A and B are shown apart, each in its own frame.
Chain A
Amino acid sequence: MSKEKGFLNQFYNNKVIVFFIRIFKETGKFLFRIGTFIWKKSKKNLKTYTMIFALLFLWILFGVLSNGTFVSPRNISNLFRQMTIISFLAIGMVLIIVTGNIDLSVGSATGFVATVVAYFQVFTFPKLLIPLISFLFPGIPAGISGIISTVLAIIIALGTGALIGLWNGVIVAYLKVPAFIVTLGGLLIFRGLMIAVTGGKSISPLEKSLDVIYNGYLPNEIGLVIAFLVIVFIVFNILWQRHKRRQYGLDVNPFLSDLGKICFFSGLVVIYIIYINSYHGVQSPVLFMAFVAFLFAYLAKNTRFGRYAYAIGGNSEAARLSGINIKANVLKVFILMGMLVGVAGIMLAARVGTGAPGGGETYELYAIAACVIGGTSLMGGEGTILGALIGSLVMASLDNGMVLLNVPSFAQYVIKGLVLVFAVWVDVATRKTKE
C-alpha cells in the first residue's frame, strides 16, 4: 500500500506530468464551455439545428448503407453541385414566402431561360454577331468569341429572369391577383414559351465556356486562397463587431465564444475545401451559390429592404401603418426572384448542354420544399436563407443517396414526400410546445 502511495506521490510530483494534467484539465473546461455555449445557442435556433442533425443523420445513414461511397470526395463533390440549381431558386423563394406570397412559376421559368440561352448561343449569336465581330476584329480566335457569347448569354438570362419577375410582381402587387394564381398561370405560360423557343426539339451544342459555369472546377491553389480569404473575412468581421459594440457601449460577447465561433466556421471551410480538393477541387457553381447565398442572407438581415419583407409577411397591416410601401417591396422581391431564376436558367443550360423543352419541371416544388424543410413558414414572416440551403441540401442528399443505393424510383418519390411532411410536422409540433 505505502509503496503504491509513494509511487503515486512521485508521479504527481513530477512537474512535467503536473503540467500536462493541468493542460488536460484546462482543455476539458474549454471544451465544456464551448459545449454549453453550443447547447444554449441550439436551444435558441432549435429549428435550424434540428435540420442540421437530420442532415448528419442522413449522411451517416447513406454513408453506412453505401459502404462509404456516399461520403467519398467524388460523391460529396457531385452532391453539392447537384444542390445548386434548386438552391438558387430556394434562396429567392424564401423571400417570396416570407412576404406571404408563393411562386409556382420558377421551374418553368428556369427551363424557359435555359432555352433562351441555348437559342441565343446556337442561332442568334452565330448568325448575327459572329459576322459583326469578325468584321470588326478580323482573325479573332473561336475561343474568345465563345466567351463573348457566354457573357452575353448570362446578361440575357438575367434580363429575361428580371422581366419574368417584373411580370409576376406587377400582377401580384399592383393588380392584386393572388400570387398562387398568377404564378400558376406563369407555370403554364413559360412552359408554352419554352416549346415555342425550341420548336419542340433540343437545341445544341452550347459553347464550352458556358459548360465551365456548371461543370467546372477551380484549381486546388485557388481553393486554398479562397479558404484563406474567407477565414480572414470571418476573423476580421468578428473583431470589427466587437470593436463597434465596445464603441457604442454595448455588452461584448465573451472572447471565448467568439473564438469558438471563429474556430467552428473556419474549421468547416477548411475541412470542406481540403476534402473537395482531394477530388478535382472546388466546384464552380458551389462557389457561386455560396456567394449568392451570403449576399441574400445579408440583404435579408441587414438592410431595410430585408426587414420590410419580414414585416410585410409578419403583419402587413402593421407594416402599412409603419409607412412601408408594400406594393413596391413585394415587386422588388419578385424581381429578385426573377433574377435568381435567370441564374438557375444559365446553370441548367450549362448542366445539360442543350436547350430542351421540359427543362426545370417540378423545380418549383423542390424549391418550396427546401424552404419549408429549412423552417420557412408558409404563413409568411419567418424563414432564413441558411435554412433554405440546408433544406435544399437535405433534398439533394436524399436524391443522391437513394440513386446511389438503387432505390426504385417510385420509392424515391414516396420517401421525399414523407420527409417533407415529416419536417413540417416537426416544425408544427415544436411550435406548439413553445406556446
Chain B
Amino acid sequence: MNNEYILEFDRVTKDFPGIRALSDVSFKVRQGEIHGICGENGAGKSTLMKIITGVYPFHSYQGRVIFNGQELMFTGSSIRKAIEKGIAIVYQELALISRMTAGENIFLGREPNTHGIINWHELYSKTQALLKQYNLFFPFSAPVGKLGVGQQQLVEIAKALSENAQLLILDEPTSALTETEVDTLMNILQKLKQEGVTCIYISHKIEEFFRIADTITVLRDGKTINTKKTGQTSIPEIIQMMVGREMKERFPKHEHNFKQIVLEVKNLTAFHPEYPEKMVIKDISFSLRRGEILGIAGLMGSGRTELVTTLFGEYGINISGKVLLNGKPFIIHSARHSINNGISLVPENRKEQGLILNQSIMENISLPNLIQFSNAFSINKHEEITTCQEAIKQLTIKCGTLNAEVNSLSGGNQQKVVIAKWLVSNPMILIMDEPTRGIDVGAKYEIYKLMIKLASQGVAIIMVSSELPEILALSDTILVMHEGCCKGILSYSEASQERIMTLATGYGECFQNT
C-alpha cells in the first residue's frame, strides 16, 4: 500500500479500430492534490477518463490503473461501480434534470425513503448538511433549470461529494462559465482540497492550472509527455509540450497557388439561434481565393463550427456584416440558397448531420443533388445511378453495391459518402468541418489527397480541424479563433504549432491582416 498516491496509471494503452488512442500512459496522482491534465483535442484525455470511470471496462485496454492501492477492474460499462469506489466525474455537458430541484438531483436514484415513499424532510436536511460541510452555497429547493450554469456545476459537484467521492474529476468545468463564476469555482476547489478531496482538473485553459493545480500532466497523441509541479513550469513550456511533435509523412505534398478572390467576409457577426442575446461570432473578416485551402483552427467551443454553419445559412441569427461572393453581395439565407450558389458544407458529425443511416449510399449521395437529374415529375434513376457510380469511383469508396445501407460502411467510407454527396453538387466553395474526425490514417490520407486535387482544380476549401498537424500541412492560410473572435490570420509560411496554440488559447497579439 502506498498512501502517497491515490491514483496511478501504469502503461495504459487503448486501441480503437485503426487508431491507438492511448499508448503507454503512465502518471500518478497524489492524495489530496489538484492535478491538472491538459492536451489538445484528441490527445486522449476523454479516453483516459472513460477508463477511470469504467465506461471502457477492464480488459478492453492494456496496462493497470491503481486506485487507493487496488487495481481497478470494472467489468460492465457501468458508471455506478466507479461511484461506489469513490470516483466521481462531472462532465462538460451537465447531466441534471432541469425541472427537479437541486436536492432531488443530488439524491436522484438514492432518495431517502420508507417503502418507496420519499422522505422529503430527510432529503433536504441531508442536502443542507452536505452544503454546510463543504461550504457550498446555492438554493437547493428551486428547479436547477433556474440556476446559472456555474451553480448547476456546483450541484453536480455536491452530487459527487454526497456519494463520498474521494476523487473528483472535472472535465472542462469552466468552458461555459463567466469570469466571476470561474472565481467562485476556484475558491470552492481550494476549500475541497483542504477537506482532503483529490481532484483531477481537465481544461483547455492553461492559466487556470497555474491558479489552482499543484501538478500538471500533459498528454499528446495518446502519450504522457511529462508531469510537472506547477511551480516548476510556465505557460510557454506547457504549450510547447502540448504541440511539440515531429511531423512525419502523413500528408501528401501540396503546392500553394491560388487565383482570384471568390469569397470575402467582412465584419461578420452572428448570434445563437436559441439564445438570441448570445453572440457566437464576433466581427470576423477574411477572404478566400480559388484553389486556396483556408484552415480554421481553434479549441473546442471557439466558434469554428458556428462560423462555417452560419456562412452556409443554417446557424446564426441576426447576422450582420458583409459577404461578397465573386464580388457580388451574397445574402446568407438557407442551405438551399448556399448550395445553389456553389457553397457546400461537409458537416462536423457525419452520423447526425451528414448521413441518413438507414438509406442507401446512392440515396445519400443524391439527396442534395436530386434537382440535377430530375424534372417536376420524376427522378431519372439511370442518370442518378451513373452519377453516383462515378462519384464512388472517384472517391474509392469500398462498398458492395450502390444500394448498400450506409450504416454497413466503415467510418472512413461513410465520411467519403458525405464528401461524395457534396462533390456531385460541383461546389465552388467546399466547407469541410472536421473532415477526418474518427477515421483511420489510410482514409485520412485519401481525403487529404482529394482536397489537394480539388484545390488544384480551382475549388476553394475551408477546413475546420482540431488537428493542428492537419491544419499546418494542408492550409494555405490559417484563421485562428478564440471565443468567437478571429485572433489572427497566418499564412502557411509564418504559421507554427506554437503560434497557433498561443493564439487559440487567447494569448498573444490580436491582429487582423485580411
Q: Which residues of A contact B (CB under 8 A)?
A: 244-245, 247-250, 298, 302-304, 307-308, 310-311, 314-315, 317-325, 381-382
Contact = CB atoms under 8 A, between A and B. Distances in A.
A247 B356 contact: no
A156 B481 CA distance: 60
Nearest to A379: B358
B353 A318 contact: yes
Given A250-B382, A321-B314, A322-B335, A315 B368 contact: no
B378 A302 contact: yes
Contacts of B355: 315, 318
Given A247-B382, A317-B352, 6 more contacts: A304-B370, A318-B347, A318-B352, A322-B368, A323-B340, A324-B335
A250 B385 contact: yes
B382 A307 contact: no
Contacts of A245: 382
A315 B354 CA distance: 9
Chain B interface size range? 20 to 34
A325 B336 contact: yes
Contact of A319 (B345, B366, B367, B381): B367
A173 to B, nearest CB: 15
A245 B383 CA distance: 9
Given A250-B382, A303-B378, A382 B358 contact: yes
Nearest to A304: B370
A324 B314 CA distance: 11
Contacts of A382: 358
B100 interface: no
B79 interface: no
25 contacts: A248-B386, A250-B385, A302-B378, A303-B377, A304-B371, A307-B367, A310-B359, A314-B359, A315-B355, A317-B352, A318-B354, A318-B355, A319-B356, A319-B367, A321-B335, A321-B347, A321-B353, A321-B354, A323-B334, A323-B368, A324-B367, A381-B356, A381-B358, A381-B359, A382-B358
A323 B370 contact: no
Contacts of B335: 320-324
Contact of A315 (B312, B345, B352, B370): B352
Interface in B407-423: 421
A320 B335 CA distance: 7
A50 B422 CA distance: 38
B385 A248 contact: yes
Interface string B318-353: 000000000000000011101110000101000011
**Which of A247, A317, A319, A323 gathers most chain B CB within 10 Å?**
A323
B374 interface: yes
A311 B381 CA distance: 17
B356 A315 contact: yes
Contacts of B339: 322-323
Contacts of A303: 374, 377-379
Contacts of A319: 356, 367
A314 B378 contact: no
Contact of B367 (A250, A298, A311, A381): A311
A139 to B, nearest CB: 45
B379 A304 contact: yes
B357 A315 contact: yes
A400 to B, nearest CB: 35
A161 to B, nearest CB: 23
B356 A311 contact: yes
A248 B390 CA distance: 12
B156 interface: no
B354 A314 contact: no
A417 B363 CA distance: 35
Contacts of A247: 382
B405 to A, nearest CB: 10
A314 B382 contact: no
B153 to A, nearest CB: 28
A215 to B, nearest CB: 34
B363 A307 contact: yes
A247 to B, nearest CB: 7
Contacts of B386: 248-250
A74 to B, nearest CB: 40
A433 to B, nearest CB: 15
A317 B353 contact: yes
Nearest to B349: A317
A317 B357 CA distance: 12
Interface string B10-29: 00000000000000000000
Contact of B383 (A248, A302, A320): A248
A322 B385 contact: no
A302 B363 CA distance: 12
A250 B382 CA distance: 8
A378 B74 CA distance: 37
Interface string B372-404: 001001110111011000000000000000000
Contact of A323 (B336, B358, B379): B336
A322 B338 CA distance: 10
Given A323-B339, A323-B368, A304 B356 contact: no
A268 B368 CA distance: 38
A303 B376 CA distance: 8
